[in-house]
Amino acid sequence: MRTLLKPGQRLVSKEGDLWRWDGFTQAAEAPTPAARRLAEKNRLGDLAIEAEAARDAASVLKAAAEHAQSALSTAAAAEGEARQAHKDALREVEVARENKAAAEKYQTETAARLSALEEAVIRLNGTCGEAGQKCAQAETGLAQLDSPVELAARLDSARAAAAQDRVAVAEANAELQTHLRDAETRAKRLHGIAEERQSWVARSDRARGQIAALEERREEATLELQRLAESPDMFVSTRQTLMRQIEAAEEARKQSADKRAAAETRLAEADRGARGALEAMSAAREEKARSETRVEAARARCGEVAHMIATELGCTEAELFELSRVAPRDELPPVEVVEKRLDGLKSDRERLGGVNLRAEEELNEILASKTNLSTEHADLTEAIRRLRQAIHSLNKEGRERLLSAFDAVHAHFKELFTTLFGGGSAELQLLESEDPLEAGLEILVRPPGKRPQVMTLLSGGEQALAAMSLIFAIFLTNPAPVCVLDEVDAPLDDANVERFCDLLEKMCSKTETRFITVTHNPITMARMNRLFGVTMAERGVSQLVGVDLEEAERFRDAG
């Protein structure tokens, strides 16, 4: 029934259970507020007693902790001393090992030298024995030699014989070289003769072929000559026959010409007589016919002219005066002038060519094409306008972005330059154009204690620091998660390396970038958080080693 309760109503059972309209429910066996307060008060008393006991236990534990801490400090100090002693012992062991290795190396070198000296002594002893033997043999040979005069005479004779032998050998060599050259010449000549013989054989074969062809042509010519030998007599007889026929024909032609001339004379006389007789009769007929013909021709001409006027000019005879702009009573121009003008107009019409029956269709096609071209021209004009508008908007946005990026880089550059140089000032300027998209860039820097100047006038270290400021300024505009620096501190001295490391720490605090630096500078390595290197504990075996400097410092402080 609780869902049926209205605001302010409640239900109560005989046992004391309560249900309220807002959802509050209380059981009959639930404790009263007074009972709850009494129970909480008793609970508070128990908690106070437990807290006092806990404070006592805490004081005892605190004393034990302080004693344990002192014991731990003593143990840590002892451990540090033990570690240091262990390190010293390891160092002494390493020194002893190095000394031992050096001693062993020296001992090995000494043994090698001793063995080499022993071998040299043995060789020298052998050489001395051989020298003694050779000396004895030389003394024996010297005792057996003749007197110096005889030896000198024998030496001169031997030299003379040797000179003669040299001359003979030179002559023999010269003769040998001559024979060799002759043999080579003869070999070349034989080779040339063989080649020439082959060429002559080839030419002989070609000559035989030409001779055979000439023989065939000669036989053909002989046959032709025999055939043509009988032609002159035949030509002479034929010519005589033709001459006789020509003479007979010429005689017949003369006779026929004479007869024709006489007949033409008689015919002419008859014609004159008949013409004289007919002229009188035909004069009247001709006059009559001429008059009738003129009348008919005039009528026909009038009809033709009327038809031409109606066909070509599209008007009647009465309308012709108005069309020609000539009054009925006006004097007309000469016929010759009109005909000449008409002929000129006709010739102009003929030059224009025939009538094009598809002119209207072609005109419609041309108009349609013109309409399409006009539409395309309008579309192209609109496209060019939109393209120029897009280019303008892009240039505008590019200028805005470039200027905003330039301002950001400029601000970072001035700040980083001051940080790296410990003072001074730096400035970026846009030159050569008012449009930032086409302008150039100039860097003006002023190290502490110097006047403003361009970067090219700075020293090598100052140029490196300025370039580093600019690069890091561009990097801070849009920082990356990871940045790799390869030998950046190489051109810097120790003081500038310290400034470079301070700058890296400042950038790490401003951004979340992880810097990975490749370096050989001990100052830079000492300022890093972790070191990675390659060592060769054994010859030919490389190993990657990593050291966490912060953890090493904690171990050192603990020791």
Distance of CA 52 to the CA centre of its chain: 87
The predicted pLDDT at position 303 comes to 79
Task: Specify the pLDDT at position 293.
Answer: 77
Mean pLDDT of 319-330: 68
Residue 445: pLDDT band (50, 70, 90) is confident
pLDDT, one tens digit per residue, over 186-245 is: 888 888 888 888 888 888 888 888 888 888 888 887 777 777 666 666 766 777 777 787
Per-residue pLDDT at 347? 80
Do 325 and 332 form a contact (C-beta atoms < 8 A)? Answer: no
- State how far the alpha carbon of 98 is from the alpha carbons of 90, 120, 349, 536, 540, in Å: 12, 32, 123, 17, 19
Which amino acid makes up residue 87?
K
> What pLDDT is attached to residue 31?
62
Which strand (E) or helix (H) includes residue 10? Answer: strand 10-12
Distant-in-sequence, close-in-space partners of 502: CB < 8 Å, separation ≥ 6 = 419
- Residue 547 is predicted with a pLDDT of 78
Share the mean pLDDT of the chain: 79
Taking only the tens place, the pLDDT of each residue in 418-432 is 887 777 788 877 777
Residue 408 identity: A
Report whether pLDDT(307) > 70. yes
Q: pLDDT at position 254, please?
A: 82
- pLDDT of amino acid 325: 67
CA distance 451 to 425: 10
Beta bridge partners of residue 528, listed in sequence order: none
Burial state string for 367-395 with b = 16 or more CB within 10 A and e = fewer than 16: eeeeeeeeeeeeeeeeeeeeeeeeeeeee
What's the pTM?
0.34
Give the model confidence (pLDDT) of 10-54 as tens digits.
Answer: 888 887 788 887 777 877 666 666 666 777 777 788 888 888 888
Q: Among residues of the chain, what percentage have pLDDT more than 70?
A: 89
Query: What confidence score (pLDDT) does residue 355 get?
Result: 64
pLDDT digits (tens, 9 = 90+) for 129-157: 777 777 777 677 666 666 666 767 777 77
Collapsing DSSP to helix, strand or coil, 502 comes out as helix
CA-to-CA distance for 520 and 450, rounded, in angstroms? Answer: 31
pLDDT band at 516 (very low <50, low <70, confident <90, very high): confident
Task: Answer whether 17's CB lies under 8 Å from 30's CB.
Answer: no
pLDDT at 144: 67
- The Cα 435–Cα 449 span in angstroms is 35
Burial level of 496, CB count in 10 A (0-12/13-18/19+)?
buried
Output the pLDDT for position 146.
61
> What pLDDT is recorded for position 145?
60
Q: Residue 34 has what pLDDT?
A: 66
Predicted pLDDT of residue 324: 67
Per-residue pLDDT, 48: 83
By mean pLDDT, which of 169-183, 350-364, 472-486 is the weakest? 350-364
449 Rama sector, left if φ>0, alpha if ψ -120 to 50, beta otherwise: left
Residue 447 near residue 417, CB atoms below 8 Å: no
Q: What is the pLDDT of residue 362?
A: 82
The strand pair at 530-538 and 425-431 is best described as: unpaired
In the chain, the percentage of residues whose pLDDT exceeds 90 is 1
pLDDT of 411 > 80? The answer is yes
